[in-house]
Amino acid sequence: MNFLLKKEECNNKKIIKPDFNTKEGRELFALYLYSKLKQILEYDKLSETPVFKTINPGFIPKFNNRLINNPEKRFLIGISGESASGKTTICNTIKQSIEKLNLPVEILSADNYFKDISGLIKEHGTFDKLLESGYDVDSPDNFQLDVLYRDLEMLSRGINVRIPEYLVNGTGIVVPEAIEKKAKKIIVVEGMATMYGKVADLFDLKLYVDIDPAIQEKWFIYRAKTSRNQNEENARKQLAYVRNASKKYILPKRDNADIIINGASSLEYFTKIIEYIYVITNNFENP
């Protein structure tokens, strides 16, 4: 990928910028992006740990049709996968690239759309005891999917929103309309709720982050002990719950993703792919 990036950066022959206000201009741009995507995929296969595992054959025609026929709509990307698969880490990498390259991207976590369970936690004493009671926290019924759908639909039309904030301090409290999110050109949404119900139909690109179970276990326990103040016994109990929930709600929807990526790929390499996409989409000169 470094080779492709340097080749584009050193290329003095820039492409004449197509007129995106015309259908013909957007068709040319879509064809250009398709040829560059094929390059990325071919070089990715040569990587020690490729990012791309599978791509749905219908994704490219769908993407081109969306780009050509509905250019005003914001581009929505949903990132899902099991817990400790690398979703949040990938989003943080995207965020760092946004700041470096000044990309028109907004990121939000679908976990903020959990329903408020502070009353249930008080009733049971702790969040862990609530789980032990059989409460299925990852069920689609425990998300504010109607609010998530409304907010994403508004963002897609260019309308700024204020989203809820789920406090990750063990209280289960949700603060309504706590975080402002702007309707930038690209909206990235991370979390399992991106796979649920009619929310999934809103996304122009559905990414699924796949992970080897052994790596997932290592990451899950490390995160629990270092950033969530859990001992290893509690962490393993929660991991067992998470894997059971994944079997019910996440893994059955894995094949609905447009692209499945490897959560264990090098983050530096992933960053280079983002930079390359940025370069090729800005490698134009005005006519």
Q: Which amino acid is located at 174 in the chain?
A: V
The whole-angstrom separation of Cα 101 and Cα 275 is: 8
Tokens of 137: 């926290």
Instruction: Enter the DSSP assignment of 176.
Output: E
- How far is Cα 119 from Cα 135, in angstroms, rounded to an integer? 13
What pLDDT does 96 receive?
87
Neighbouring C-beta atoms of residue 122, cutoff 10 Å: 12
18 within some domain: no
User: Is residue 132, in this structure, part of any structural domain at all?
Assistant: yes
Q: Is residue 22 in a domain?
A: no
pLDDT band at 230; cut points 50, 70, 90? confident
CA distance 195 to 201: 9
Beta 105-109 vs 186-190: how paired, if at all? parallel
Query: For residue 206, which of 62, 48, 41 has the smallest C-alpha distance?
Result: 62
**Cα 227-228-229 angle, rounded to 5 deg:** 100
Question: For 77-103, how does the pLDDT look when each residue is reduced to its tens digit (9 = 90+)?
Answer: 999 999 889 888 888 888 888 888 888
Banded pLDDT at 37 (limits 50, 70, 90):
confident
Residue 43 included in any domain:
no
Residue numbers of the domain that contains 64: 52-264
What token pair was written down for 157? 């039309």
Between CA 88 and CA 85 the distance in angstroms is 8
Q: Which two tokens stand for residue 19?
A: 């007129």
Give the pLDDT of residue 14. 64
Residue 117 lies in a domain: yes
Contact 54/260 with Cβ under 8 angstroms?
Answer: yes
Write the CATH number for 176.
3.40.50.300
Q: Which residue has the higher pLDDT, 287 or 126?
A: 126
Confidence class for position 279, pLDDT limits 50, 70, 90: confident
15-16 and 284-285 beta bridge pairing: parallel
Q: Kindly state whether residue 285 falls inside one of the protein's structural domains.
A: no
Examine residue 167 and state whether it is found in any structural domain, yes or no: yes
Q: Between the CA of residue 121 and those of 64, 153, 180, what are the distances in Å?
A: 47, 32, 27
- Does residue 205 form part of some domain? yes
pLDDT tens-digit map of 149-195:
999 999 999 999 999 999 988 899 999 999 999 999 999 999 999 99
What confidence tens digit (pLDDT) does each residue in 233-268 have? 888 888 888 898 899 999 999 999 999 999 998 888
Number of domains in the chain: 1
